Amino acid sequence: MSSRSSPRQRSHRGVDELSRLQRQVEELEHLLDSVDGIVWEADIQTFQFLYVSRQAERLLGYPLESWLAEPDFWERHLHPDDREWAMNFCLTATKEGRDHEFEYRMIAADGHPVWLREIVTVNSVGDGEPVLRGLMVDVSPHKEAEHRTADENLALLSLAKSEELGRGDLVAFNRLAMETAARTLDVERMGVWLFSEDRSVLRCVDLYERSTGRHSDGLELESASYPRYFSALYEGRFVSADDAQNDPKTSEFAESYLAPLGITSMLDAPLIRAGEVIGVVCHEHVGAARKWTLDEREFAASVAHFVSHAVEAQKRREAEQAASAAREQLLDQQKKETQNVEAELERVRDKLVQQTRLSTIGQVAASIAHELRNPLGAIGNARFYLSRRVADDDPKWAEHLGIIDQEVHTADRIITNLLEMTRAKEPSREWTDLGDLARSAFDRVEETDGVRLTLSTRPDPFLVDADPEQLRQVLTNLVTNSVQAMEGRGEIAVVAHSEGDFDVIALQDDGPGIDPEAKELVFEPLYTTKAKGTGLGLPICRQIVERHGGSIELAKPRGPGARMVIHLPRSKARTKEQEAG
Amino acid sequence: MGKARILVVDDERNMRTTLSDILAEEGFEVSTAESGERAVKICKHQPFDAVLMDVRMPGIDGIEASRRIRRIQRDIRVIIMSAYSVDHLMEETLGEGIVAFLRKPLDAEYLITLLGDA
């Protein structure tokens, strides 16, 4: 039918056809322009663009004319890092007539890199040379996400390998972790919060503000004020709120915390140690609300994991420090005890030396005593014999025989004292009235006519559990010393009372007293200041008192004179008896 | 009743002399021995009412000598005298018929009283 149409008709039809084609081209162009990518056609030899769709202008910011006019437009706007390999790749593929696909970067008009995915086909058009046709798709968001993931992984790696974590320094690690997380996730405020012992309070141990670069700590949140949030945490749940001020999980904080600080989105990852929630790492975003991605949540979980690890390391370190402190304390104590033992040993050694001296003297004394007592005995006997025969006739004879008798007795007493030292005789205790003992001791001492003995005991009578003979010897020696020191004139006061577990007996005279510097010397065997002393009286006293488990010392006198104080342990039986009485 | 017969045993001559003179003066019949062995020997031939015995002497000591003498003269009264403490001897010789332990130098007055009862 068309072959029969008139030329006019034909011409009319041609116009129609043309306009139809025109319309189709427009539609096609419109279609190409609306594709979310750049559709292009280029010379296979020079790579000069023959056609680019409008998207090119929008995507990279260069006018379409530049794309088409500049022969090496594509090469010139490749990212310098990608230029060489991308060109080579394309040239090779094109030479081989292969379709190809790759990703690379171009630099946009504003200077920023744009990631593109390029799908290129080699097309034959009629008999002429083939042309290249392709589609460039902007894959920048995808690439950025990939890079973010890589950044996050790097950040996590740096945390994992950090020295702070290694040495268990929780404070330093928290600072590092919060700074790293804030930077990596682009969050304004990051915080580490730990539960109190009973988990009723969350305490902030590190809060980092990215804009100021400041760290702080010490804020506290009570569970009673934020029940929903705490119960979510107790269960170890992740609290992710894109719209924190309205999200029911976090809206408890809206008025007091979120709104004043302009926090819009929150992401809180629980800290878990040995299966128990010990705290939380908080991400607080300021600015336009954001949607936390899965990647970001995973990153947050990883940071929380590291912080938990650091807390654990810290606890372990604290435990080790406590153990080490305890160990040191123990060592200290041992050292002190060793010192005590050494001091005690020293004391015992001194004592032994003194006792050895005493016993050596005693042994010598004992051997001398036998030799001496026989001649003394013979002298005594001879005197007795003579006294029977001549005393009545001549008073001078009698006087001199008396002198012999006295001196034999004196010599014998010296020997007795010396022998007393050698006898390690255990006290044979019985209840004895101290007053009686003191009086009988006083009576034994000679030349006491000008000396007054006063007794003052509480209670009265004052019963002591001691060997009466031995205690009397002690008192006799003390009274003898006092009488001699006072040269036969003065007062001796014996005072006794109970003090704790001890009976305290003090004997004070009003003689010239004893030089305080000789305090210990007076108890040394053979030390004497008296012309006639043996230097054994006080050492014997000390030996006896110590055998009773007590002590004797020269005390500071009350007023003039000398004061000796004896401490005797009081037996329990006696204490009861007195309480009953 | 005749004079009481006393044997004085001591290795010290002056002791023997002074004691025998004192006792003789008091009317006792006194013999002396300078050792334990000698005393035992004398006792085999001569009866005594009492023996005044030193402890430490060369040869057998006074305690051993006393035991041997008592085997010869069952009723003899033994008085021990010593320059040493006699406490332990008292315990050691319990039931051996020793009537007194005296420490040198002796109280002669007391000795005479003691022997007067012999």
Domains and CATH numbers, chain B: 5-116 (3.40.50.2300)
Which residues in chain A touch residue B22, judged by CB atoms under 8 angstroms apart? 381, 384-385, 388
- The reply to whether B114 touches chain A by the CB within 8 Å rule is no
Question: Among the residues of B1-86, which ranges form H helices?
Answer: 13-25, 36-45, 62-72
Q: What is the DSSP letter of A148?
A: H
- Dist CA A117 CA A267 (whole Å): 34
Which residues in chain A touch residue B34, judged by CB atoms under 8 angstroms apart? none
Which residues in chain B touch residue A374, judged by CB atoms under 8 angstroms apart? 12, 15, 83, 104
- What is the maximal distance between C-alpha atoms in chain B? 37
Mean pLDDT of A181-210: 91
User: Which of A363, A372, A374, A415 to substitute to test the interface with B, most B CBs within 10 Å?
Assistant: A374
In the prediction, which pLDDT does A80 show? Answer: 92
Nearest CA in chain A to B102: A377
At B47, the pLDDT band (50, 70, 90 cuts) reads very high
With an 8 Å Cβ cutoff, the interface of chain A facing chain B consists of 366, 369-370, 372-382, 384-385, 388-389, 408, 412, 419, 423
For residues A226 and A359, which has the higher predicted lDDT (pLDDT)?
A226
Mean pLDDT of A417-438: 80
To the nearest whole percent, how much of chain A has pLDDT over 90? 30
- The reply to whether B46 touches chain A by the CB within 8 Å rule is no
Peptide bond into A375 cis (omega under 30): no
Q: Is the C-alpha dihedral spanning A404, A406, A409, A410 positive or negative? A: negative
SS (H, E, C) A260-284: HHCEEEEEEEEEEECCEEEEEEEEE
Nearest CA in chain A to B24: A385
Q: Give the contacts of A145 (CB within 8 A, at least 6 positions apart).
A: A293, A295
Q: Any idea which fold A425-580 has?
A: Heat Shock Protein 90 (3.30.565)
ipTM: 0.86
Retrieve residue B14's tokens: 């002056």
Of B14, B103, B109, the CB nearest to A378: B14
Q: Where are the domains of chain A?
A: 35-138, 146-320, 425-580
- The reply to whether B12 touches chain A by the CB within 8 Å rule is yes
pLDDT at B53 exceeding the cut of 90: yes
Nearest CA in chain A to B21: A385
pLDDT at A581 exceeding the cut of 50: no
* CATH entry 3.30.450.40 includes domain A146-320: yes
Note whether A35-138 and A146-320 share their fold: yes
pLDDT at A264 exceeding the cut of 90: yes
Give tens-digit pLDDT for B65-116: 999 999 999 999 999 998 877 778 888 887 788 889 998 889 999 999 999 8
User: Which of A385, A404, A409, A420 to substitute to test the interface with B, most B CBs within 10 Å?
Assistant: A385
pLDDT at A431 exceeding the cut of 70: yes
pLDDT at A575 exceeding the cut of 70: no
Nearest CA in chain B to A381: B18
pLDDT at B50 exceeding the cut of 90: yes
User: Which of B52, B80, B104, B107 to substitute to test the interface with A, most A CBs within 10 Å?
Assistant: B104
For residues A293 and A167, which has the higher predicted lDDT (pLDDT)?
A293
Nearest CA in chain B to A384: B108
Which residues in chain A touch residue B20, judged by CB atoms under 8 angstroms apart? none
Q: A247-251: which pairs have CB atoms within 8 A and are 24 or more residues apart?
A: none
In the prediction, which pLDDT does A352 show? Answer: 74
Q: A7 in helix, strand or coil?
A: helix
- The reply to whether B14 touches chain A by the CB within 8 Å rule is yes
In the prediction, which pLDDT does A391 show? Answer: 55
In the prediction, which pLDDT does A557 show? Answer: 85
Contact pairs from chain A to chain B, CB under 8 Å: 58
Q: Any idea which fold A35-138 has?
A: Beta-Lactamase (3.30.450)
Retrieve residue A580's tokens: 């009953």
Report the C-alpha dihedral over residues A104, A108, A113, A114, rounded to 10 degrees.
Answer: -50
CB–CB contact A389 B25 (8 Å): yes
Give tens-digit pLDDT for A174-188: 999 999 999 988 999
Strand partners, B3: none
Give tens-digit pLDDT for A491-518: 999 999 998 889 999 999 998 988 888 8
Which residues in chain A touch residue B14, judged by CB atoms under 8 angstroms apart? 375, 378, 382
To the nearest whole percent, how much of chain A has pLDDT over 70? 93
For the entire predicted model, the pTM comes to 0.43
Of B25, B103, B106, the CB nearest to A388: B25
At B1, the pLDDT band (50, 70, 90 cuts) reads very low
Mean pLDDT lowest for which of A65-69, A147-151, A413-417, B75-79?
A413-417
